[in-house]
Amino acid sequence: MHRLRRAEVGQALSTCAPKDTSKVVALRKLDQRAKLPAMVCAYSLGIIAALVLGVGMCLTMGVVGDGSGAAFGTGIAIGIVGLVGVCVNYPLYQRLIARGKERYAADIVRLAREISAE
């Protein structure tokens, strides 16, 4: 019973105590802040482009539509748009990561030097 109370006290203390705001945590947050916009954009564009590519494939193979030549041509065009989106996704991600690192580079380097000096 005594151990259970200690566990409850420890759990209450960990949830109510102020969070650790050390320099390492600040460095991690800066790193996440630099990468988050690029990741959100990459995932969003990747999902949308894959879905567009899939719709184009379905039209081309006759799964959706009447299977006519017009549906086939439309499917090819939509599929190419999806392929372009998929191909552009990774270079765009790299460019956005570089921009985020550039934006927060001074703060990240400063914090890293302070941490390494301790």
**Size of the chain, expressed as the number of residues it contains:** 118
The residue segments making up the domain with residue 54 are 20-117
Residue 111 and residue 23 in contact, taking contact as beta carbons nearer than 8 Å: yes
8, part of any domain: no
60, part of any domain: yes
83, part of any domain: yes
Q: What is the pLDDT of residues 72-107, one digit of tens each?
A: 999 999 999 999 999 999 999 999 999 999 999 888
Domain count, the chain: 1
Give the CA radius of gyration of the chain.
25
Q: What is the pLDDT of residues 62-72, one digit of tens each?
A: 998 888 999 99
Q: Per-residue pLDDT for 6 more than 90? A: no
111, part of any domain: yes
